[in-house]
Amino acid sequence: MSDTAPSPQDFAATVEQLESIVERLESGELSLEDALGAFEQGVRLTRDAQQRLDTAELKVRALSEDSEGRLNVTPFANDEAPRDDADEGKETPPW
């Protein structure tokens, strides 16, 4: 595995790299120094991924706002999903 960070546009590669780091850390086979290096790389990748998620959320919000700045939420059409009466009346988040 390469220790270089993936390109900023490749979120999936970042997630895969994070999963690989977690597996290596959980294996218990790394020396303390190697584990610390892997942890530091994981922290950098996590911060990068979180920043990209935040940016994506802002873009989605900007594209979903109406002319008055309110979120224009349109639920996905899912006619095949069974309705659960227990969910009736529950609020769902706007995202």
Q: What is the pLDDT of residues 3-39, one digit of tens each?
A: 555 455 589 999 999 999 999 999 999 999 999 999 9
> How many CB atoms neighbour CB 52 within 10 A?
15
Q: 17: which residues sit within 8 A by CB, 6+ positions away?
A: 1, 5, 6, 45
pLDDT at 6: 46
Q: What is the pLDDT of residues 68-87, one digit of tens each?
A: 878 777 777 765 555 555 55
pLDDT at 88: 59
pTM (2 decimals)?
0.61
Domain boundaries, the chain: 11-75
